[in-house]
Structure 1
Amino acid sequence: MFGPEHVSRVRQLYKLIFRVHRALPTELRIMGDNYARDEFKRHKNCNLEESRIFLNEWTDYAISLAKQMKPLQQVKRKTVGKYIDPQLLDHMTDEQIVQLYELHKAATQTNTENIEMQEHNTKDK
């Protein structure tokens, strides 16, 4: 299993992601928080190589989002996120591609649909 240093790094990254999400619009924050929470739970018992990749990708995400949330960047761009390199899709499993598609659908729904979906997910828990 992983040592205390690894566990500490994971906790710090997890907390950082939620802090960065505070700057997002409410709908994106809720979706991002839920997605991050689910992904960290899903990878809780992964192997060393998967853990390394997982932490690197989430660290890159947190840094990228933090840069985008700076006030000056918000004034310039007024958008959040970036496009995925299509070559990355070649390395994804079918399950990951489906999950990415579902995330895309959730991100592009109207505010009303997002609220309804969140209410439905809250009732299921």
Structure 2
Amino acid sequence: MRVTYSQLASPATAPLRPGQRSPPLALLPPIPLYRRLLRTHRKKLGPEQRIFGDTYLKAEFKRHKDIDNPLHIVGFLTKWQEYGQKLEGDSWKGETLDKSTVDKMSDQQLGQLYELMQAIQRRGKESADEELEGRSEKLK
């Protein structure tokens, strides 16, 4: 079979339609993935979000350092790599958890998610209070 220039110029994969996700990249090893996520946090997140994100990221990788089950390792790395891809593409803003993900969570995970929600709400109230105090001081 003879290869033509038009065949060489055509894309190897079909073009993506609007709203369609790109195929997942090859799974990165833990250390390069960890470094990539920290770099992404530095580039994409604000100072407060970055502190929270870096702390959580470091704790999770430390907690899973001694896992021997290959299925858990692949699942862990896959989810973190998906997170990194979303963060790099800004598709995470305003996104909600789908019901199937919440249904798969353990009671402990749901408790952590609830605590996170409460912490975010408290921080939002504190920010709003600080903003109101700043405005009232300017009016004086």
Residue by residue over 1:49-85, the C-alpha shift from the partner in whole angstroms, topping out at 9 and shown as x without a partner, is: 11111100000000000111xxxx8xxxxx8352111
Which residue matches 1:102? 115
**Structure 1: segments with no counterpart, 5+ residues:** 1-5, 74-78, 115-125
SS for the counterpart of 1:83 is coil
Cα separation, partners in 2 of 1:112 and 1:34, compared to 1, 3 Å: farther
Q: Match for 1:61 among 83, 86, 103?
A: 83
Contact conserved, 1:20 with 1:65, CA < 8 A, in 2? Answer: yes
Give the drift of 1:105: 2.6
Query: Which of 1 and 2 has greater Rg?
Result: 2
Q: For residues 62 and 18 of structure 1, what CA distance do their matches in structure 2 show?
A: 9
Tell me the TM-score normalized by structure 2.
0.62
Shift of the alpha carbon at 1:112? Answer: 8.7
Structure with more helix by fraction: 1
The runs of 4+ residues in structure 1 deviating greater than 3 Å are: 111-114
1:24 to 45, 66, 72: 45
**Structure 2 counterpart of 1:15, one-letter code:** R
**Cα separation, partners in 2 of 1:112 and 1:14, compared to 1, 3 Å:** farther
Tell me, in whole angstroms, the C-alpha distance in 1 between the residues paired with 2:126 and 2:83.
26
Provide the alpha-carbon RMSD of the alignment. Answer: 2.5
Q: What are the superposed Cα offsets for residues 32-62 of structure 1, whole Å, 9 maximum, x if unpaired?
A: 0011111111111222111111100000000
TM value normalised by structure 1: 0.68
